[in-house]
Amino acid sequence: MASGGWGPGPGPGQPGGNGPGGQGWGDPYGPPPPAPRPAPRRRSPLRHIPLVNIAAAVMRSAHRVATRLFVQDGDGRIADRTVERVQVARTVLGVLAGLALIYVYGVEEDRWKNAADDSFGNMIMTPVLLICTGPLVILGFILYAPPHLRPRLRSRLGAPLKAVGWYLLAIVVFGTVVYLAGQTGLFKGLDGWQAGLAAVVVLVVVVWGLPFLLLASLYSARSAFNTAHVHPMLPAVVTGVLVWALAIFNLAVKGMPEGPPPVQLSSLLGGPLSVTAVSLWELHRMRTRFGVTVRG
């Protein structure tokens, strides 16, 4: 009988036979090759330092919570890789241009300290200004939409409001604990287990809360407090308004930048104009490539 029927299989010594030279019971190709083992991961020698491990664990925890609360794009968010690359390139060029201006025209003894202070201050002030200007932008956006779409847009405000609430709660808790620990004698009058508990609370809030607050400020500004839940175009619109509010705030608080008048104008208006241009281009791509409109 043919070998493809119900008769006996190949004999000993034949491919697929079960004798010497055979590869198995009826398998002409032999057993499958073993799966390749993944290359061993290279571990940093710093993993043996307990302090580094603790710091890494704290940063991972703060990053995980901040991402969960402040990076919620929503179902309507459009992921456009080209726009993301342009935004990253604009940010890098802006940072390099700012560093170049500080290096050339900054005050010698305080140039880098002032630059660090300004960057930290802007990172903290951006969400605060966003909380102040964002509701006005969202209100105008909703009023500009057709009447039949307004109830649906209003029903999606839950995610941005929750993000704002979490951010305000983080600021209040962190500021209250730091104030009570450093500016009042409330914790100084404690002793025994109460003093130990207060010390643990302060340590947790400062060690974990400070990285969390910085990451929350960065992510909430980047996502515009999850306003993509309301409409895909809202983050670009809010960002365009926010960058001008931040420029006006810096001008009112710090005055004009250092350097001759052309450099001052470039330093003052370069960032807002470039961000606005990228935001308008992003809105144009949403409208022409994805069919998303404000009134659609």
What is the count of structural domains for the chain?
2
DSSP code of residue 48 = G
DSSP code of residue 205 = H
Angle at 128 between CA 145 and CA 217, to 5 degrees: 100
Domain that holds residue 212: 158-226
Given 173, 191, 226, which residue is the final one in a domain? 226
Global pTM exceeds 0.85: no
Q: Note whether residue 148 is domain-resident.
A: yes
Q: Which region holds residue 14: left if phi is over 0, alpha if psi is between -120 and 50, else beta?
A: beta
Per-residue confidence in pLDDT tens, the chain, 296 aa: 444 444 444 554 444 444 444 444 445 555 666 666 665 556 555 556 667 788 888 899 999 999 999 887 666 667 778 888 888 888 888 878 877 877 777 655 566 666 666 777 777 788 888 888 989 999 999 998 889 889 999 998 998 999 999 999 998 888 888 877 776 556 666 667 777 787 788 888 888 998 998 899 888 888 888 888 888 889 899 999 999 998 999 889 888 877 788 888 888 898 899 999 999 999 999 999 888 887 66
Q: Which region holds residue 44: left if phi is over 0, alpha if psi is between -120 and 50, else beta?
A: beta
Q: Note whether residue 111 is domain-resident.
A: no
Q: Note whether residue 291 is domain-resident.
A: yes
Residues 183 and 211 placed together within one structural domain of the fold: yes
